[in-house]
Structure 1
Amino acid sequence: MSKRALLEVIALDVEDAVAARDGGADRLELVADMAADGLTPPTATVAGIRAAVDLPVRVMVRLADGFAAGDVGRLVRAARALREAGAEEFVLGFLDAQGSVDAGAVERVVDALEGCRWTFHRAIDRAADRDALRKQLDGLPGLDTYLTAGAAEGVDAGLPTLLAEAARRGEPGYEQRLLVGGGLRLDHVPHLLAAGIDGFHIGGAARPRGWDGPVSADAVAAWRHALDD
Structure 2
Amino acid sequence: MSKRAVLEVIALDVEDAVAAQAGGADRLELVTEMAADGLTPSPATVAGIRAAVDIDLRVMLRLADGFAAGDVERLVQVAGELREAGAGQFVLGFLDADGGLDLAAVERVVGALDGCRWTFHRAIDRAADRDALRKQLADLPGLDTYLTAGSATGVDAGLATLLAEGSRRGEPGYEQTLLVGGGLRLEHVRPLRDAGIDAFHIGGAARPSGWTGPVSTEAVARWRKVLDAD
Is the structural similarity TM-score above 0.5? yes
Give the structure 2 partner of residue 92 of structure 1: 92
Identity %: 79
The answer to whether residue 205 in structure 2 is matched with residue 205 in structure 1 is yes
Residue 3 (structure 1) shift: 1.3
Rounded Cα–Cα distance in structure 2 between residues aligned with 1:225 and 1:216: 14
Per-residue CA deviations over 1:127-171 (Å, capped at 9, x if unaligned) read 000000000000100000000000001000000000000000000
In the superposition, the TM-score normalised over structure 1's length comes to 0.99
Per-residue CA deviation, residues 197-225 of structure 1 (Å, 9 max, x unaligned), is 00000000000000000000000000000
Distance between the aligned counterparts of 2:78 and 2:124, measured in 1?
A: 22
Alignment match, 1:173: 173
Paired with 2:179 and 2:115, the residues of 1 have a C-alpha distance of: 20
- Cα distance in 2 for residues equivalent to 1:46 and 1:152: 28
Partners of 2:153 and 2:169 in 1: CA distance: 23
**Residue 58 of structure 2 corresponds to which residue in structure 1?**
58
Alignment of 1:46-125 (within 5 A): 46-125=46-125
Q: What secondary structure, in the 3-state scheme, does the structure 1 residue paired with 2:134 have?
A: helix
Q: Per the alignment, in what secondary structure is the counterpart of residue 183 of structure 2?
A: coil
Question: What CA deviation, in whole Å up to 9, does each residue of 1:164-183 have, x standing for no partner?
Answer: 00000000000000000000
Q: 1:41 deviation in Å?
A: 0.2
Mapped pair 1:138 → 2:138: yes
AA at the equivalent of 2:81: A
Separation (CA, whole Å) in 1 of partners of 2:122 and 2:2: 27
**Secondary structure of 2:115's partner?**
coil
- The 4+ residue runs of structure 1 with deviation greater than 3 A are none
Which residues in structure 2 correspond to 1:143-154 (within 5 Å)? 143-154=143-154
**Cα distance in 2 between the residues matched to 1:85 and 1:221:** 29
What is the Cα-based RMSD across aligned positions, in Å? Answer: 0.5
Measured in 2, the distance between the counterparts of 1:221 and 1:93 equals: 29
1:37-52 matches, cutoff 5 A: 37-52=37-52
- Give secondary structure in 1 for the equivalent of 2:178: strand
**Structure 2 equivalent of residue 226 of structure 1:** 226
Quote the Cα distance in structure 1 between the aligned partners of 2:52 and 2:91: 21
Residue number in structure 2 paired with 1:129: 129
Secondary structure at the aligned position of 1:47 is classed as helix
